Structure 1
């Protein structure tokens, strides 16, 4: 069995770190995001649906932030527009051979609500696990992230911040999957350079700070 020196061991660890994946995951990005329809949307596996969602949020942001539309006014106008479209469609169907769906069959499936309740319960359970403090590092990171978001939120409107998050969710995962190897290599290389800088700072600055001698207590 070969014996490595400390410097060789560090170089070996750095090399392994450069070949590792982001966040130390072993699964594919699609599996890490849940592997379901949400992962398909974030990674643009269903391009038409992903583009429609991104375009829809962009239109909402444009209406509220640029045109300064009021929420209640927008809801009323959309409802009026939908009612007019339904009225025109059913009125025109009386004079044509259009096969319109039965009104009583237009309902929301219960499975959609069950999926929503299941996801909300998982979020609440995860929130309780983090808040319990069993993993103090994770608890501290979540508190720090929420505090940073609150600070950033003071300089942006809630709608702009929400729109920015949606844009990031709709673009960054797909871009990362496309250039996964390059991004992982750059991040690992950045970690390696940061460790070297910290070691250099510790050796050249922190260890050279003079420290006073601890006075021993006189024994009676």
Structure 2
């Protein structure tokens, strides 16, 4: 009887050892696998769908991570550029077109335009005042016109911040830390100087104004098609820059500043 119980105990011990070997020694599971399966098991136990993996990162032009509206600063200026209010956007573009046509096509001058506008306004107010006094026997109340202080101060503050930021960027570029950025800025300024020969400042400003009212809204509508094309173009530019760096930039002799710093 004792021998029989010892045999059963030995068999149960062997069974336990074999189960442990099958469970842990087969290589099919690991602590990391069990940790990964815990969220799935918890979601199944609660009757919920398992969490989906994060979507792959999509390439966006200029590395932006926010919508176009946020990139443009948000608020009313972004609404105007993206035609959220079509009447305001069309009115701004129409006024800019009229101003450009007056100064460029009609060859009006700023001082002449201001003088003519003041003459017209004074003449209309003078006639209206006399007509109102003659009809109603009382002088009319001409509204006071004044420029509020707060918007002017806000505009001046924003302009000052942007100018200081531009100076900071130019200082970083001139410090010689990033040769690629330096060459891009030089190329951009060179293209700007060429464009400056073709048209004056007012025409250039009008072109930029029209582009701000057309390019962002078109890009927002077709960004899914533009971004893949831009990704391929950026890859090709990086390849060409790598070739240019290997054949030209790497052969430019560097100054002795680095060697002195290493010795020091």
Same fold (TM over 0.5): yes
1:167 counterpart residue number: 210
CA drift of 1:195 comes to 6.0
Kindly indicate whether residue 117 of structure 2 is the aligned counterpart of residue 78 of structure 1: yes
Query: Residues 115, 93 of structure 1: CA spacing in aligned structure 2 closer, same or farther, 3 A cutoff?
Result: farther
Query: Residues 185, 88 of structure 1: CA spacing in aligned structure 2 closer, same or farther, 3 A cutoff?
Result: farther
CA drift of 1:187 comes to 1.5
Question: Residue by residue, what CA displacement relative to the aligned partner does 1:55-89 show, whole Å, maximum 9, x if unpaired?
Answer: 11111111111111222211111111222233344
Query: Residues 109, 139 of structure 1: CA spacing in aligned structure 2 closer, same or farther, 3 A cutoff?
Result: farther
CA drift of 1:191 comes to 3.1
Larger Rg: 2
CA drift of 1:145 comes to 1.9
Choose from 215, 223, 233 the match for 1:190: 233
1:10 counterpart residue number: none
2:165 counterpart residue number: 126
Which gives a bigger RCO, structure 1 or 2 (Cα 8 Å, sep 6+)?
1
RMSD of equivalent CA atoms: 3.1
The gaps in structure 1 that reach 5 residues or longer are: 1-15, 208-220
Query: Residues 163, 115 of structure 1: CA spacing in aligned structure 2 closer, same or farther, 3 A cutoff?
Result: same
Query: Residues 73, 102 of structure 1: CA spacing in aligned structure 2 closer, same or farther, 3 A cutoff?
Result: closer
Indicate the larger mover: 81-90 or 144-153.
81-90
Quote the Cα distance in structure 2 between the aligned partners of 1:27 and 1:149.
Answer: 29
2:193 counterpart residue number: 150
Query: Residues 148, 198 of structure 1: CA spacing in aligned structure 2 closer, same or farther, 3 A cutoff?
Result: closer
> Taking structure 1 as the reference length, what is the TM-score of the superposition?
0.70
Quote the Cα distance in structure 1 between the aligned partners of 2:200 and 2:72.
Answer: 28
Quote the Cα distance in structure 2 between the aligned partners of 1:174 and 1:168.
Answer: 10
> Taking structure 2 as the reference length, what is the TM-score of the superposition?
0.59
CA drift of 1:102 comes to 5.5
